A = this chain, B = another copy of it.
Amino acid sequence: MSNQQLDQLRNDLDEVNVELLNLISKRGDLVKQIGQVKEQQGMNRFDPVRERAMLDRILENNEGPFENSTVVQLFKEIFKASLELQEDDHRKALLV
């Protein structure tokens, strides 16, 4: 395989990176909205049962190349970052 093909693969990777960022950001916006609803209803923001259900649904769809354990680890990082967004909103709400 030539350097030209390597360049092409790298261009594809750069595109996928930006698509991933867009999707992670969209997910962040959704989680913020969910946090606002929960805040209004006086519900806890962190729900381990719901988190487990989300992970199960994700793993049902996993066809590789990543092992389930790696997928869980990556999504837990994404969940954690999203939860922090909700907490930032909560702190800001308290300051108003």
Binding site for B on A (CB under 8 A): 1, 5-6, 9-10, 12-14, 16-34, 36-38, 40-41, 50, 54, 57-58, 61-66, 70-71, 73-75, 77-78, 81, 84-85
A18 touches B58 (CB 8 A): yes
Nearest Cβ distance between residue A89 and chain B, in whole angstroms? 9
B74 touches A81 (CB 8 A): yes
Contacts A65-B29, A65-B32, A81-B66 given: A74-B24 contact, CB under 8 Å? yes
Copies in the complex: 2
Nearest Cβ distance between residue A55 and chain B, in whole angstroms? 9
Contacts A21-B62, A65-B32 given: A54-B6 contact, CB under 8 Å? no
